[in-house]
């Protein structure tokens, strides 16, 4: 069985001070919850909160005895250089990051990231020994137009085909690449995909991954995951965890989701 991941995407929320307060509350609440010891809990804070989150997680690991991780929500594809405003995954690695998020739909829509550039980012993360969570998902228009499968196939192939062509990267990706399926219409809208939609789409994603020899990768679901739907969603075959936005911003609701994952 694949190890479950519950990931928090904090987007551009929280100051370093608020991040510290979050983990103080998290530590106080932790013992009230029954969290599966094998589940990986990952935080994606904004880059400006990274240092504060790293420090808090060092104490949380020590105090609570659970493995917590963090990663950047985005990275440029170079270690350093004249790239004003960008952040480097390699620097995050030195700061304690173990994960990197790539291709979130907000990056795709607002910052026009796609195709080969996303491949470069995934490659860069993997080369720097980070676990990469690569996001895919269709828009409402695409779903209603019956294009979901072809859209997801294209998004996966444009990154995984070149990865598969590089023997060394292919080997690394087998262990360090996770896919996050997030229907764009379900992100931040409160509209969660139905069980039937998630079941069918995760099976499609697994089928596409299998053809490319990546069937060992975990597939997370994201899009309005909340404490009241997490238990049902995690019981769907091929759902290996969640990428959570809004509900991860409050320790109690995120802990409830983490607990639900352990019940599967
Ligand atoms: P949401 O966000 O849980 O608020 O829908 C998910 C995401 O953007 O990853």
What is the C-alpha end-to-end distance of the chain, expressed in Å? Answer: 12
Quote the ligand 1 centre to 78 CA distance (angstroms).
27
How far apart are the C-alpha atoms of 196 and 167, rounded to whole Å?
36
**Beta carbon of 222 within 6 Å of any ligand 1 atom:** yes
**Beta carbon of 253 within 6 Å of any ligand 1 atom:** no
Q: What is the pLDDT of residue 75?
A: 97
Q: What is the pLDDT of residue 262?
A: 83
Q: What is the pLDDT of residue 263?
A: 62
Quote the ligand 1 centre to 234 CA distance (angstroms).
16
Q: What is the pLDDT of residue 264?
A: 54
**Beta carbon of 260 within 6 Å of any ligand 1 atom:** no
Strand pairing class (177-181; 218-222): parallel
DSSP 152: H
**Beta carbon of 137 within 6 Å of any ligand 1 atom:** no
Q: Coil, strand or helix: which one is 16?
A: helix
How many CB atoms lie under 10 A from the CB of residue 12? 11
Q: Cβ(128)–Cβ(89) under 8 Å?
A: yes
Q: Residue of the nearest CA to atom 8 in ligand 1?
A: 245
Which of 195, 248, 254, 257 is CA-nearest to residue 230?
257
Write down the pTM of the prediction.
0.97
How far apart are the C-alpha atoms of 107 and 104, rounded to whole Å?
5
DSSP 88: B
How many CB atoms lie under 10 A from the CB of residue 171? 11
Q: Cβ(104)–Cβ(133) under 8 Å?
A: no
Quote the ligand 1 centre to 52 CA distance (angstroms).
22
Q: pLDDT of the chain along its 264 residues, tens only?
A: 899 999 999 999 999 999 999 999 999 999 999 999 999 999 999 999 999 999 999 999 999 999 899 999 999 999 999 999 999 999 999 999 999 999 999 999 999 999 999 999 999 999 999 999 999 999 999 999 999 999 999 999 999 999 999 999 999 999 999 999 999 999 988 888 999 999 999 999 999 999 999 999 999 999 999 999 999 999 999 999 999 999 999 999 999 999 999 865
Q: What is the pLDDT of residue 1?
A: 80
Strand pairing class (40-44; 131-136): unpaired
How far apart are the C-alpha atoms of 15 and 10, rounded to whole Å?
11
Q: What is the pLDDT of residue 74?
A: 98
Q: Supply the angle between the helices 16-30 and 50-64 in degrees, to the nearest 10.
A: 10
How far apart are the C-alpha atoms of 242 and 181, rounded to whole Å?
9
- For residue 100, report the phi and psi dihedrals to the nearest 5 degrees: -145, 135
How far apart are the C-alpha atoms of 237 and 183, rounded to whole Å?
17
Which of 85, 135, 143, 81 is CA-nearest to residue 113?
135
Q: Cβ(212)–Cβ(173) under 8 Å?
A: no
Q: Residue of the nearest CA to atom 6 in ligand 1?
A: 245
Any residues with CB less than 8 A from the CB of 17 and at least 6 apart, and which?
Answer: 52
């Amino acid at each position: 069985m694949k190890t479950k991941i519950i990931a928090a995407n904090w987007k551009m929320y929280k100051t370093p001070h608020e991040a510290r307060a979050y983990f103080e509350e998290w530590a106080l609440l932790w013992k009230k919850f029954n969290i599966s010891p094998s589940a990986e809990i990952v935080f994606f804070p904004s880059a400006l909160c990274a240092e504060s989150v790293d420090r808090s997680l060092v104490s949380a690991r020590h105090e609570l005895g659970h493995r917590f991780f963090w990663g950047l929500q985005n990275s440029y594809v170079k270690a350093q250089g004249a790239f004003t405003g960008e952040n480097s995954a390699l620097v995050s690695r030195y700061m304690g990051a173990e994960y990197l998020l790539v291709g979130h739909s907000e990056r795709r829509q607002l910052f026009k990231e796609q195709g080969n550039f996303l491949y470069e980012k995934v490659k860069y993360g993997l080369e720097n020994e980070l676990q990469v969570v690569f996001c895919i998902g269709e828009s409402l228009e695409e779903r209603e137009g019956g294009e979901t499968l072809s859209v997801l196939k294209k998004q996966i192939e444009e990154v995984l085909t070149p990865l598969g062509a590089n023997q060394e990267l292919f080997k690394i990706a087998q262990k360090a690449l996770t896919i996050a399926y997030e229907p764009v219409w379900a992100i931040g809208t409160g509209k969660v995909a139905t069980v039937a939609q998630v079941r069918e789409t995760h099976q499609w994603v697994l089928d596409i991954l299998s053809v490319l020899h990546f069937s060992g990768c975990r597939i997370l679901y994201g899009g309005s995951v909340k404490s009241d739907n997490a238990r049902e969603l995690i019981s769907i075959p091929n759902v290996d965890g969640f990428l959570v936005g809004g509900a991860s911003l409050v320790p109690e609701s995120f802990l409830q989701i983490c607990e639900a994952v352990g019940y599967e």
